[in-house]
Chains A and B, each alone.
Chain A
């Protein structure tokens, strides 16, 4: 503590924990409850060996491996094995989102807002803020991991053992901390929190895609991907602690690297510096719509290209998924080549039906972000000068709405296009684009409902703007997991996606589409009214 670089680190850690307690509590409780609740539920769903064998067969199919990671070990499988197989990758993804948002906010974010400068002006070490943020997240991840382990102990699934419970729990905690250090390191490279967030998610996306393709093609190669380490726990089988050691080792290296860069740079700067730009606005930048496009340009491009790549990667495993001959070589003789092809296509369609919710939700995020800009830009004070110009509120509202809707739809379309192209790159008889377009058309109305809901909230209750994300996240959870954890049917009906089941296996229902569009339109109109009459907040 005498070291001047780390002076007051503990004090800042305690301070951060106190300042962030609500956020940390919400995240921890949500994750722990989710994890434990699913575990508890599993005891009732997969109680017979027959039901376990059934789900194992599903989980071993390439499509499921691409979504949930490779199920480790060998038969006979127990309920606990199924649980670990289904939940590990998903919980690690959740951990990444949580850790990214908190660490970037507490390091780069504090630097952007100038708060760090005030803190640094006191008797505080140069590296104290970064190190205290890392310690804060270490503590939180450790606690979450510990509670995961406890939850598993209490759920007492068939086939668990204490070693495995703690391995899975603490392993997921370690993964969370590893993501925190990745983001902390990347935050040192760029000079603002927005770029840090984008960069972190790009790295995460690359790891996700790499993990997915190695899982399907060559599981050993997954060892080279930090995100893939969580799949290597082999929980309840070999109970391998090596991945945890690797994760902590990488975390340590990244922490040291981040601290080193932080020590060698000036406050507010990064390795990749912001360059000067143009002295005059381009002819294109001329009004709210072009301004909002300009502000979200990078985000939009990253999401659209990201979804295209994700789609392509999923598409490129279609040949593995849609090949029933692999598992059943006698099939061709039995039903003939055409029938086999049809059956293959059907399997792929079923896979696409599961993917639809993933693409739908991912496409929604940038759209919601753009619509919520009316709130975030307002509370940060960016819009105050716009409000003093001859630009009507209706026009502003329309601008974000149009841009948000276009972004979500284009991102969704990019995902579908990626799937088709990915499939075409590996299959002799690729799935026609029309199949994916069916999925796209069917998803337009639920996507619009959620965007309209966000617009409505921004219009009336900007304080609750985050609800759009939560609702979307909920839709993802239900769509992704709903069948696996046997959620009651009405739960799916809480989100608009619940009314569009199994597209593109089933055709789009025009009636559903019309009433959903009607709801979306109503919400938008209500939002317009709210935004028209409410007071606009200011930064101070």
Chain B
């Protein structure tokens, strides 16, 4: 573990943030390593943006530590920001400046310049940089921030729900661009609501709920925590199914098929039971991130 901590780009340990009496972050702990895309998911108001703003040094932590490149995110924010690029969820741009001017300004503020990659990105996202920002739609404003971020040569990228205003085509371009960063060995923190996106791109995932990280790990690590949905038909009736441990939501369809979900750790026992009833057909659906997500959020008791 110690070893891992050492090469982590982002290291967050028991981070806390209070706004007055309200505890926005109670316990946030996770690491992000070079060459990985870390998915940061959670419902609205769980503390994703608060965590990110703390990492940016915009907010001051009330407790715990957070370091980027081994430096304190608040005290050393300026030197950290030299190697960091950020795209907020809601991009607000100065209405009387053009998109092109704003992109260049952001690059200059990051001590870089308008480069070949900038032009490539403008082309890729099909942005008209001559328009004043007040005429841009939400998606176009996001493109401005994305183009500036992607053409910055940073080591750590933070995207806070960056695709909420993009059309599917641009979403695809975004994903492709993130994958390129990953190949170059950059670290990416991606907060998102689009679970298919996270599932597709992220190596590891952290789930935050009410200011606490409730789960971190790779998707496959997490699968054991989830339930598999099974649809089957047997020769003999399976009356005891409902009473078995780890079996949930048993429904009998009109076509003779029964559907239920089963906890991964009870899988083999339940399969044995079904086999004893002479299986005619069986189909299993692997747990998706969405199931996982729902399981953490919809119920109050958590796991």
- A-side residues, CB < 8 A to B, are 112, 191-192, 194, 274-282, 285-288, 291, 294-295, 380-382, 384-392, 533-536, 538-540
**Main secondary structure on B side of the interface with A:** mixed
A536: nearest residue on chain B (CB-CB)? B58
B102: nearest residue on chain A (CB-CB)? A281
A533 neighbours in B (Cβ, 8 Å): 60
A297: nearest residue on chain B (CB-CB)? B96
Taking a contact as CB atoms under 8 Å apart, the answer to whether A281 and B104 are in contact is: yes
Taking a contact as CB atoms under 8 Å apart, the answer to whether B109 and A280 are in contact is: no
Taking a contact as CB atoms under 8 Å apart, the answer to whether A388 and B104 are in contact is: no
Give min CB distance, B296 to chain A, whole Å.
Answer: 23
A535 neighbours in B (Cβ, 8 Å): 58-60
11 residue pairs A–B, Cβ–Cβ below 8 Å = A278-B98, A279-B98, A285-B101, A389-B109, A389-B110, A390-B78, A391-B81, A535-B60, A538-B58, A539-B92, A540-B90
B89 neighbours in A (Cβ, 8 Å): 540
B19: nearest residue on chain A (CB-CB)? A535
B91 neighbours in A (Cβ, 8 Å): 381, 385
Taking a contact as CB atoms under 8 Å apart, the answer to whether B129 and A192 are in contact is: no
A281 neighbours in B (Cβ, 8 Å): 100-105, 108, 114
Chain B window 100-127, contacts with chain A (Cβ cutoff 8 Å), 1 for yes, 0 for no: 1111111011110010000000000000
Of the stretches B26-34, B49-57, B212-220, B236-244, the one at the interface is B49-57
Give min CB distance, B206 to chain A, whole Å.
Answer: 20
B14 in contact (CB, < 8 A)? no
Candidates B59, B132, B145; contact of A385 at CB < 8 Å = B145
- B-side residues, CB < 8 A to A, are 49, 53, 56-60, 77-82, 84-86, 88-98, 100-106, 108-111, 114, 129-132, 134-135, 145, 148, 158
Other A-B pairs, 4, CB within 8 Å; known A192-B96, A276-B131, A277-B100:
A382-B93, A388-B81, A389-B110, A538-B58
Candidates A276, A381, A389; contact of B92 at CB < 8 Å = A381
A539 neighbours in B (Cβ, 8 Å): 90, 92
**Main secondary structure on A side of the interface with B:** loop
Q: Contacts A389-B110, A391-B109; is A277 near B98 (CB within 8 Å)?
A: yes
B52: nearest residue on chain A (CB-CB)? A388
Q: Contacts A382-B92, A382-B93; is A388 near B84 (CB within 8 Å)?
A: yes
Give min CB distance, B138 to chain A, whole Å.
Answer: 10
B101 neighbours in A (Cβ, 8 Å): 277-278, 280-282, 285
Taking a contact as CB atoms under 8 Å apart, the answer to whether B114 and A280 are in contact is: yes
A388 neighbours in B (Cβ, 8 Å): 56, 58, 81, 84-86, 88, 158
- For the complex, what is the distance from the CA of A512 to the CA of B101, rounded to whole Å? 45
Give min CB distance, B123 to chain A, whole Å.
Answer: 12
Give min CB distance, B211 to chain A, whole Å.
Answer: 16
Q: Contacts A276-B132, A277-B132; is A381 near B90 (CB within 8 Å)?
A: yes
A540: nearest residue on chain B (CB-CB)? B90
Taking a contact as CB atoms under 8 Å apart, the answer to whether A387 and B59 are in contact is: no
- For the complex, what is the distance from the CA of A389 to the CA of B152, rounded to whole Å? 11
Q: Which 8 A-B pairs have the closest CB atoms?
A: A281-B104, A381-B92, A388-B86, A277-B98, A390-B81, A389-B109, A279-B100, A276-B130
Give min CB distance, A367 to chain B, whole Å.
Answer: 20
Taking a contact as CB atoms under 8 Å apart, the answer to whether B58 and A274 are in contact is: no
Taking a contact as CB atoms under 8 Å apart, the answer to whether B104 and A277 are in contact is: no
B122: nearest residue on chain A (CB-CB)? A279
Taking a contact as CB atoms under 8 Å apart, the answer to whether B134 and A192 are in contact is: yes
Candidates A194, A277, A278, A392; contact of B78 at CB < 8 Å = A392
Q: Contacts A279-B130, A295-B94; is A389 near B81 (CB within 8 Å)?
A: yes
- For the complex, what is the distance from the CA of A275 to the CA of B135, rounded to whole Å? 10
B100 neighbours in A (Cβ, 8 Å): 277-281
